[in-house]
Structure formats: C-alpha cells, structure tokens
Amino acid sequence: MNKFAVFVVKLGRAVMRPFFPVKVYGERHIENKKSLIVGNHICGWDPLLYTMWMKNIAPFVYKAEFDKSPFLNWLLSGIDCIPVHRGEADMSASKKILRLLKEDSPVCLFPEGTRNPDVDCLQELHTGAALFALKTHAPLRPFYIWDKTLFMHKNYMAVGEEFTLEQFYDMPLDKHTLDEATAFIREKMDELRLRLNATLEARGVKRRPRTKKENAKLKAHKEALLAASEQAAQNSEKEKNT
C-alpha cells in the first residue's frame, strides 16, 4: 500500500467518524492476513463505513466507475482496492484478488454484487467469494450493516467470527460445489444479521421510517424478484416437458 494514501485514509476517517456514528458489535481489529471479509450491501457508503470504524485498512472490491475521478482512482489504487467492471467476467479483477490473497492480504467484498433496497434481507449471493476462498483456502469473516448510512444518524454494524470452507476443499471446483459453498457463506452472514437484530430489538432500537423513494425502490425490487422466480419456474417446467 502507498503510505501517503494510507495516511490520507486514516486522516479522513478520523474527521468523518463524528458525522457517521456507528456502534460496532464484535471485533474491530481484524488481522491483516489472507482472508475474505464479506458484508451485505445496502448503500454506497458501506465500504467507507467499514473503513471508518474498523481499525485495519483492507482493500475493497469496488465498481470501476469510481475510477473516473482522478483523486479516487489514486486513493483507491493506493490502498490496493480492486476495480471491477460489473456485468462481465472481469479476469483482471479476479487475478488481482487472488494475488492479494496469496500475498497474505485481506480483501473485502460484497457477495450480493449490488446494493439491496431491502435493508433486512440478504439477496442471493454471487459465487465469487466462494471461488476465491476455495482456490486460496482463505478464511472468511462476515460483517453486517444494519441500516442505510445517513449523515448524523446512528447506525449499527456487527462483525462475526472467522470461518473456513474446509468441508469443500476436497470437492471438485464445479458449479455444484460453488453453489453449496456460497449457500454456506450466506448462512453465516444471515446468522450474523439475526443476532444483530435480536440485540437491537432487546435494546428497543427501531429503524427509521422509509422514504417514498426507498419504498418505491423496495417495491420494484420485490416485483423483479417475483418475476424472476416465476420465469425460473416456467423454464423448469419446460425442461421437464422436453
């Protein structure tokens, strides 16, 4: 990592923390070693929230569109973040993730792949995290952000225990194995979500009301999921009949 870029990040997070208060449940000091740090994705602020409140600085996988800003490009590349072109097989990003893991570096990513309008439900996960973990035998650690980050609005984040996919190491690295391993990762992330919800419910913490725009996005999201589910069912029925 570029030492000056790391200094800028440390300075920036010290300045920004008072404006984005977060209560963190779990370990804040994550060892800088080979590992995949996997979290839910509900807001563009998610990588910054993690970086602001965790004690380590870990490279994030981020969408390549941010590279249009010269400053962000310099800063993100300076802390070894990995740009990825969404909607395509980005081999360059995959190679960099694998290289960082082999160099004993942590990598943070969002297995959902895109922001989720439903703040209390995980989307289906992409298989990338499972693939990288199985190829490198890297352990994983989940984190869960409770709500969409807002300026001067308290948020909550839980950091879970490290786990591995060792039960899959001797299996062939095919679609079935990746799907099973991804389901296991999702289960671990969902367990963390439920624990955080239970903790906050016991404290009487409630989410703020959703805005009209947020409700509209959530409605459209659920309708799209329903349509995709119905289409998948129709395709499955056609396969049975052929």
pLDDT (tens digit per residue) in 157-176: 999 999 999 999 999 999 99
Q: Quick: pLDDT tens for 191-202.
A: 999 999 999 999
pLDDT, position 67: 85
Question: Is residue 107 scored above 90 in pLDDT?
Answer: yes
pLDDT tens figures, 10-42 = 999 999 999 999 999 999 999 899 999 999 999
Q: How many CB atoms lie within 10 A of CB 212?
A: 7
Q: Residue 209 pLDDT more than 80?
A: yes
Pairing of strands 35-39, 106-109: parallel
How far is 61 from 84, CA to CA, in rounded Å? 7
pLDDT at position 66: 84
In this structure, the strands spanning 155-159 and 140-145 are antiparallel
Q: Take residue 107 and report the two structure tokens written for it.
A: 């990598």
Q: What pLDDT sits at residue 198?
A: 97
* Region 96-119 average pLDDT: 95
Q: pLDDT class for 135, splitting at 50, 70, 90? A: very high
Confidence at 101, pLDDT banded by 50, 70, 90: very high
Whether the predicted pLDDT of 87 surpasses 80: no
User: Do 91 and 43 form a contact (C-beta atoms < 8 A)?
Assistant: no
Categorize the per-residue pLDDT at 190 as very low, low, confident or very high, splitting at 50, 70 and 90: very high
Cα separation, 122 vs 115, whole angstroms: 10
* C-beta neighbour count of 124 within 10 angstroms: 12
pLDDT band at 68 (very low <50, low <70, confident <90, very high): confident
Confidence of residue 220 (pLDDT cuts 50, 70, 90): very high
For 209, the token pair is 């009301």
Q: Measured between alpha carbons, how far is 78 from 6 in angstroms, rounded to an integer? A: 7
Flag whether pLDDT at 242 surpasses 80.
no
Give the list of residues 6+ apart from residue 199 with CB closer than 8 angstroms, or none: 25, 158
Type of residue numbered 50: Y
pLDDT at res. 136: 97
Q: Which fold has domain 3-208?
A: Glycerol-3-phosphate (1)-acyltransferase (3.40.1130)
Instruction: Give the mean pLDDT of the chain.
Output: 94
For residues 189 and 124, is the Cβ–Cβ distance under 8 A? Answer: no
